[in-house]
Chains A and B, each alone.
Chain A
Amino acid sequence: MTNSPDTISPEAIGKAFAPVPRGLGAILGFAPWLVVVALIGTALVVGGYISTVVAFALIYALFVSGLNVFMGLTAQVSFGHNAFAAIGGYTSAVLTTAYDWSPIAAMGAGLAGALALAAVIGWPTLRLKGHYLSMGTLAIGLITYEIAVQWTSVTQGYMGISGIPSLGIGRFEAVSDRQILVVLTLTAALGAWCVARIRRSRFGRALAAIAGSEEAARALGIDVASYKLASFLISAGYASIAGSLFVHVVGYVSPEVFGLHMVILAFTMLYVGGIGTVVGPLVGALLVSMLPETFRGFRDYQDLAYGAALIAILVYAPRGLAGLAELFRKDAP
């Protein structure tokens, strides 16, 4: 495929060097962070059901933050990151239940496995562009799902694995809702901080150059293939950790958890929050997770609402909520 301008995302370009906003733009720039802090704060204080919802949202926030490195900062596309979440999640589940590993060690093993797979499949896959890349990654996600269903001796197929221990390091174990929430908040914050650092670094600027134009980046002496692979590995690592956290928080895993639904949900979050921004994945994950809770009586309508909302956002607000600030910045002289 050609590297024509419409195969890349203009949304991602130039964000890293935007000037510091003033006035209304500055206020709107902080608004998403306030929403994030307010929602997590409420969950910490109130506890109970809302803290469960926010806990899921934070796990997804980590997953989406990683996806954002690959899609937002590098302007590539992956419909298959659920594969890496599945590897992290299943490795954690199997090692902690069948082999009595500690959660942290199992998470590390899952991370190593996900990175190894990402390196092996990333090399041929990342040469693809446009809809070929989309389909290649989608296929990887779907194959992983099939394997999770069929490899019953390890994954127990549709039955799933239950009795997974909660998160813990050494003698500390996060059992209560609040403890889990604190651990997840710290993890998600660390994840977001790393994305912010990456975006401002030399590495991040190289990714932005690749996002702008691969040919131009290559002409500037950037090793495009290696940087794309590195970006893919980082996002796969985030996905794997998110998968591990998920199985420990829920205590149960089945193939459905890491199905196509996960991909669609993550894309919705990424676009609601704002692709290519640091806060976007956090605010997107929190808002999208809170939304269906308000319509909890209508479970059947949830996917319908997700789909319709995703279309509306893609068509009318392609830069998401975190992009609102820029809308006003453009008007300013």
Chain B
Amino acid sequence: MSGDLLMQSLVSGLAIGCVYGLIGIGFCVIYNASGIVNFAQGAFVMLGGMLTHVGLKTWHLPYWAAALFAVVAVAVLGVVLERIVVRPLWRRKAPVFVMILATLAAQIVIERLTFLLVDDQPKTLPVFTDLPPLKLGAVALSYQTLWIVAGSLAIVAGLAVFFKSTLTGKAMRACAIDREAALLQAIPVSRMLALAFALSAALGAVAGILLTPTQYTAFNVGVPFAISGFIAAIIGGFGRPFGAFLGGLMLGVVQSVAILSLGSGLKSAAALSVLLVFLFFRPAGIFGVAK
């Protein structure tokens, strides 16, 4: 019996881990393009679910159109954030913690605006496929879990193709390796930064849309997601998008086992302890040297 319970919580851990992984990839994409850690990442996740809900309930759009609208709107917001907050600081070569603080402040501004423009009620979205969960032995597997896992894997595969085969993707990788050298190769480095914010914001929004049907979204869910995504990125060795995805899976599993054994009250404390263990003993992540 407890074996089944463990399997069940591993399944849900892997599903939430996929979402953490997508958020972690968002951190890495921006970090690689600019050396910046963007703490407004959680706001993108929150807005993904929230804007889809607004499109669905207030404007009565079809589900796919609402989701598409949300992703595009959040990507645009990512670029706006880059233009008005990040770029002036980046130009001035502001210290790292000033950048973290500014993006954290942006997170709060977005949160409060959502609170004022929508409301403070938790909202959820309908599941994508409304069928009873699959039964694998005693383990129930909901269709939304499958959507999360499949969607995340598809995105990771898409990103792999993008970074490996397209000119833009290669240019972004070049920026990650050496920005000055990239500039000398006539790569528009500052446009890459804007693109990185758009991409990372869109990733956050997709993560939010995939996850919201299984949980709920509210104006203040962003910061915990940002922290989980950051932990995923640290575990994977900061700046390695696919490491971050695996890191997310690992964090999701650790967290769900912690909930099972310690109770749900300590799940954030468990995640943060994982972070501290990695920071103190293995700051380069599980896959080797820090960048």
The contact size tier of chain B is 35 or more
For residue A166, CB closer than 8 A to chain B, the reply is no
For residue B269, CB closer than 8 A to chain A, the reply is yes
How far does the Cβ of B232 sit from chain A's closest Cβ, in whole Å? 12
For residue A291, CB closer than 8 A to chain B, the reply is no
Taking CB atoms, residues of chain B closer than 8 Å to A324 are: none
List A110-158 residues whose CB lies under 8 Å from chain B.
124-125, 128, 130-136, 138-140, 142-143, 146-147, 149-150
**How distant is the Cα of A138 from the Cα of B276 in the complex, in angstroms?**
10
Does B109 contact A304, Cβ atoms closer than 8 Å?
A: yes
If over half of B's interface residues share one DSSP class (helix, strand or loop), that class is named, otherwise mixed; here it is helix
Taking CB atoms, residues of chain B closer than 8 Å to A310 are: 101-102, 105
How far does the Cβ of A136 sit from chain B's closest Cβ, in whole Å? 5
Taking CB as reference atom, which chain B residue is nearest A77? B97
Does B272 contact A9, Cβ atoms closer than 8 Å?
A: no
Taking CB atoms, residues of chain A closer than 8 Å to B106 are: 307, 311
For residue B51, CB closer than 8 A to chain A, the reply is no
How far does the Cβ of A291 sit from chain B's closest Cβ, in whole Å? 15
Does B227 contact A142, Cβ atoms closer than 8 Å?
A: yes
Select one of B85, B88, B95, B109 contacting A8, CB under 8 A.
B95
The contact size tier of chain A is 35 or more
Select one of B35, B102, B283 contacting A314, CB under 8 A.
B102
Taking CB atoms, residues of chain B closer than 8 Å to A124 are: 280
Does A143 contact B273, Cβ atoms closer than 8 Å?
A: yes
Select one of B111, B112, B116, B279 contacting A128, CB under 8 A.
B279
Nearest 9 Cβ contacts at the A-B interface: A77-B97, A307-B108, A304-B112, A307-B109, A310-B105, A139-B272, A146-B269, A131-B37, A130-B96
| A residues with CB within 8 A of B | 1, 5-11, 71, 75, 77, 79, 124-125, 128, 130-136, 138-140, 142-143, 146-147, 149-150, 260, 264, 267, 300-301, 303-304, 306-308, 310-311, 314-316, 318
Give 16 A-B contacts (CB < 8 Å), ordered by A residue. A6-B93, A6-B95, A7-B95, A75-B95, A124-B280, A128-B283, A132-B234, A136-B275, A139-B275, A146-B268, A260-B223, A303-B111, A304-B108, A307-B108, A310-B105, A316-B88
